[in-house]
Amino acid sequence: MENPAQNMRAEAHHGKDLIYLTIYPQGYDPALEYPLVIMLHGFGASMYDLADLTRLIDDKGYIYVCPNAPVPIQLQPGALGFAWNVPGTDDPEQALRTEQKLEGFLHEVMEKYQVSPGRAILLGFSQGGGLTYRCGLVRPNLFAGLVALSCSIRNPEEMSQRLPAERNQPIFIAHGLQDNIERARSSREFLEAEGYTPTYKEYDMGHEINQEVMRDLSPWIKQVLPPLQRD
């Protein structure tokens, strides 16, 4: 299997509820306690979709974990993707099952890789970004920061009731001007009205993650959750 990032080792694992890809930093030493970046892919993709972002963030100081969404989706004949929830369907039970699986997964991998609460960042793209908001905002003690790429907060009224009293969690939002930008702006306005101060950036792009996003995101992650420094 090819490594998704040069000089970094990748392994697929079967967790209790989710399969996932772990990408280890260069010179990985399991005796050390690395900070963790968890990356949630978008609708129709898989755990491999965001793997190449790792080398653009930092290839030495973090462990990266990319879970595979639990719902298989037939995109076209012979093409299978995965989703966290099926868009266009009102299935609160499925949404709850997904959240429960993700919650169990978060604790599973943090224990496996010896990651203390507050030593992880949750990152999501598109549908995975919506789940990042939903699962990350309510766990400020677990996540040092959240990264929401090309996504929005659905059901803000419900989310408002779930928010913790502590609202200083760092949040990085990136969205394309050609990609339903009003949804991202509404999410920023919601967060600011609730007492958060997100880092919000718009880019001349569509529904994607480009190099400009990564040039802004990498130093933000390193500031919020510094990588492990080795002598």
pLDDT of residue 81: 94
The 10 Å Cβ neighbour count of residue 191 is: 24
**Rounded mean pLDDT, 59-75:** 94
Rounded (5°) CA angle 136-109-99: 40
Amino acid at 147: V
| CATH numbers and ranges of domains, the chain | 9-224 (3.40.50.1820)
Measured distance CA(148)–CA(133) in Å, rounded: 7
For the cut 90, the answer to whether the pLDDT of residue 86 exceeds it is no
Predicted pLDDT of residue 13: 97
Evaluate whether 161 touches 141 at the Cβ level (below 8 Å): no
- The model's confidence at residue 25, banded by pLDDT at 50, 70 and 90, is very high
Average pLDDT of the chain?
93
Q: Which residue has the tokens 């129709």?
A: 44
pLDDT band at 88; cut points 50, 70, 90:
low
pLDDT in tens, 144-200: 999 999 999 989 999 999 999 999 999 999 999 999 999 999 999 999 999 999 999
Q: Render pLDDT for 26-65 as a digit per residue (tens, 0 to 9).
A: 999 999 999 999 999 999 999 999 999 999 999 999 999 9
Phi, psi values for residue 172, rounded to 5°: -110, 125
For 178, the token pair is 């050609």
Q: What is the pLDDT of residues 95-148, one digit of tens each?
A: 788 889 999 999 999 999 999 999 999 999 999 999 999 999 999 999 999 999
DSSP structural state of residue 206? S
CA-based nearest residue to 20, from 44, 1, 43, 39? 39
